Amino acid sequence: MSKIKNKFPVLTSLNGHHASILCVAFHPSAPILATGGYDNIIILWDTDSYQQVATLLGHATGVICLAFHPTAPLLVSGCYGGKMISFTTLQSR
């Protein structure tokens, strides 16, 4: 067993998806984490409070990639079905 595990304690566990999570992305300037998975949804999380902020819908197949724009309030997602969706995201607090 590796000793590395002891150096990285678990901060929290986020529960909200109904299937496997396939991708995650941190917002470049706001305390927001986006997660996407086989349940075809994207969940936005507040990384300060570890609470779910929003659920984004629109994909018919599993979400496999997420990327926040570095300066604009945009999140782009892609799915197994070949569809990309652009969402307007929350502004920095």
Paired strand residues for 11: none
Contacts 24+ apart (CB under 8 A), 5-9: none
CB 31 within 8 A of CB 48: yes
Contacts (Cβ under 8 Å, ≥6 apart) of 91: 30, 73
pLDDT, one tens digit per residue, over 53-70 is: 999 999 999 999 999 999
Q: Are strands 21-26 and 74-79 parallel, antiparallel or unpaired?
A: unpaired
Percent of residues in the chain assigned helix, strand, coil, to nearest 5: 5, 45, 55
Burial (0-12, 13-18, 19+ Cβ within 10 Å), 76: middle
Quote the pLDDT of residue 3: 62
Quote the pLDDT of residue 12: 86
Global pTM value: 0.86
Banded model confidence at residue 76, pLDDT cuts 50, 70, 90? very high
